[in-house]
């Protein structure tokens, strides 16, 4: 109820960082082009298949002086998959333990990033060549402050330019440019890619690398579709340059959730050269890439601190120099040094600077050594994960209370 909100406010004060980093306002007034990269996991970055680089373009961004690449960035989604990752990014709240919050609580009051940016004079829109009601997006987008949703009906979709779930990414980006050029600036836009979606279908003509060879057709086909996405992103960067939109924009590329489920871990362990995928490995496989590309910044580097999708909103708002002092959220600005130091996964597992907790076992994060066999749970003298575990539990339950109780109705986020 309403009284719980003040407990929650007190708690978020303890985890937020108000550090004035050197990136504060570094992208003030710039357009934002956010690319949600379907099923893109981090293990493909800087790796090869059949002797070929899988993601040559993204690999070049890792080295790029205008790009921050977050190599220990975790996805935190649950059953709502892509929509859960969108929810995390826009709100810095956790998705729900079951169901998709886009469906179950699409009419709640939120204090989401599109609305906050709209209040600063941004035009806000989403581009995704699928049915607008998929994941109840049309309703949720309206509610969280998107001005316009370019869905399936904004694109010319033919048999030739489609595969699997719909319009192929290269055609999607190409056809989006004219809309992007017509928008008032500054704009905040989200592009949701689709081709690298399970079961990773792609015609021979669009394949630049050959599938892998294992007992899993899913894993085998994943590599060529990941490469296709990588090429689509590169092409989009070039189109943005040609359209004169590049210099005044920042471009974010983020993997939304895993693409290779545990059903394919046998094959994946072979590919990764491991005997098996342990629970510890499984957690590390929940890393997805995050790139923040700021043309002309020159400050780009590889960022290794533990991070998650919950952190995107405070990071972007600070980059854009937008104040949200009274906001209620659970992430940290990824450019701050003084951070809470852990990422909660939606099932209660977590990754901290020092530990990984999963399946009741506390591991050393770096070495993968189990530090407790689970029997120490509830006894902080034996289980070093316990104190963080408590915070994770609290945080997830506070976030759930906000959503289930629609608690933001009781606050206006103003002084
Ligand atoms: C569907 C697309 C994929 O519109 O976003 O959804 P997913 O199945 O990955 O949640």
Segment 261-303, tens digit of pLDDT: 999 999 999 999 999 999 999 999 999 999 999 999 999 999 9
Burial class (CB in 10 A: 0-12, 13-18, 19+), 369: exposed
What interhelical angle do 217-242 and 169-182 show, nearest 10?
A: 30
Q: How remote is the CA of residue 134 from the centroid of ligand 1, in Å? A: 8
Quote the percentage of the chain above a pLDDT of 70.
98
Pocket flag, ligand 1, residue 130 (CB < 6 Å): yes
Catalytic residue list contains 189? no
Question: Can you list the alpha helix ranges (DSSP code H) found in 34-119?
Answer: 56-63, 81-91, 101-104, 113-118
Separation of alpha carbons 205 and 208, rounded Å = 8
CA distances from 263 to 74, 111, 164, 222, 260 (A): 20, 37, 21, 14, 8
**255 is written with which tokens?**
């993997």
Phi, psi of 156 (to 5 degrees): -90, 110
Burial class (CB in 10 A: 0-12, 13-18, 19+), 401: middle
From the list 55, 67, 77, 82, the catalytic residue is 82
Pocket flag, ligand 1, residue 136 (CB < 6 Å): no
Query: Mapping DSSP to helix (H, G, I), strand (E, B) and coil, where does residue 286 land?
Result: coil
Q: Is 334 left (phi over 0), alpha (psi -120 to 50) or beta?
A: alpha
Cα–Cα nearest to 109, from 86, 77, 140, 79: 140
pLDDT number for residue 36? 98
Give Cα 248 distance to the centre of its chain: 23
Separation of alpha carbons 141 and 184, rounded Å = 19
Using CA positions, which residue lies closest to atom 3 of ligand 1? 82
- On whether 128 is known to bind a ligand per the annotation, the reply is no
Contacts of residue 19, defined as CB under 8 A and 6 or more positions apart, other chains included, come to 333, 336, 337, 338
pLDDT averaged over consecutive 10-residue blocks of the chain (415 residues)? 90 92 97 98 98 98 98 98 98 98 98 98 98 98 98 97 97 98 98 98 97 98 98 98 98 98 98 97 98 97 98 98 94 96 98 95 94 59 87 97 96 80
Separation of alpha carbons 400 and 96, rounded Å = 6
Question: Which residue has 């002092």 as its token pair?
Answer: 325
User: Which atom of ligand 1 is nearest to 192's Cα?
Assistant: 5
Buried b / exposed e along 243-255 (16+ C-beta atoms within 10 A) = eebbebbbbbbbb
Query: Mapping DSSP to helix (H, G, I), strand (E, B) and coil, where does residue 320 land?
Result: coil
- Give residue-wise pLDDT tens across range 171-228: 999 999 999 999 999 999 999 999 999 999 999 999 999 999 999 999 999 999 999 9
Instruction: Answer whether 57's CB lies under 8 Å from 288's CB.
Output: no
**191 is written with which tokens?**
């592009």
Q: Are strands 48-49 and 361-364 parallel, antiparallel or unpaired?
A: unpaired
């Amino acid at each position: 109820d309403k009284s719980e909100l003040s407990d929650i406010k007190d708690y978020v004060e303890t985890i937020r960082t108000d550090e004035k980093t050197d990136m504060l306002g570094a992208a003030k007034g710039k357009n934002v082009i956010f690319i949600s990269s379907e099923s893109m996991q981090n293990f493909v970055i800087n790796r090869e298949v059949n002797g070929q680089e899988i993601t040559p373009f993204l690999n070049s961004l890792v080295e790029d002086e205008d790009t921050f690449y977050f190599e220990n960035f975790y996805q935190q989604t649950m059953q709502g998959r892509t929509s859960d990752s969108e929810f995390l990014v826009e709100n810095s709240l956790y998705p729900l333990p079951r169901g998709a919050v886009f469906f179950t609580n699409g009419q709640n009051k939120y204090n989401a990033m599109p609305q906050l940016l709209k209040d600063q004079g941004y035009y806000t829109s989403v581009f995704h060549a699928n049915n607008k009601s998929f994941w109840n997006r049309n309703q949720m987008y309206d509610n969280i402050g998107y001005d316009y949703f370019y869905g399936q009906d904004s694109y010319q979709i033919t048999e030739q330019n489609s595969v699997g779930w719909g319009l192929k990414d290269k055609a999607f980006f190409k056809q989006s440019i004219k809309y992007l050029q017509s928008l008032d600036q500054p704009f905040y836009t989200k592009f949701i890619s689709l081709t690298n979606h399970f079961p990773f279908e792609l015609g021979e003509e669009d394949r630049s690398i050959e599938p892998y060879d294992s007992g899993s057709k899913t894993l085998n086909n994943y590599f060529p579709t990941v490469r296709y996405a990588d090429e689509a992103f590169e092409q989009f960067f070039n189109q943005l340059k040609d359209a004169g939109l590049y210099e005044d924009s920042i471009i974010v590329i983020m993997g939304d959730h895993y693409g290779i489920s545990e059903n394919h871990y046998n094959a994946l362990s072979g590919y990764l050269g491991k005997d098996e995928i342990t629970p510890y490995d499984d957690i590390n496989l929940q890393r997805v890439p995050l790139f923040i590309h700021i043309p002309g910044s020159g400050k780009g580097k590889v960022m290794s601190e533990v991070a998650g999708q919950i952190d995107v909103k405070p990071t972007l708002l600070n980059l854009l120099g937008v104040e949200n002092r009274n906001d209620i959220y659970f992430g940290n600005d990824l450019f701050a040094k003084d951070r809470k130091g852990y990422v909660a996964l939606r099932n209660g597992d977590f990754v901290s600077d020092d530990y990984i907790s999963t399946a009741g076992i506390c591991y050393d994060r770096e070495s993968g050594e189990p530090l407790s066999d689970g029997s120490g749970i509830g006894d902080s003298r034996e289980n070093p994960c316990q104190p963080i575990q408590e915070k994770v539990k609290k945080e997830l339950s506070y976030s759930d209370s906000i959503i289930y109780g629609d608690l933001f109705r009781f606050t206006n986020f103003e002084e």
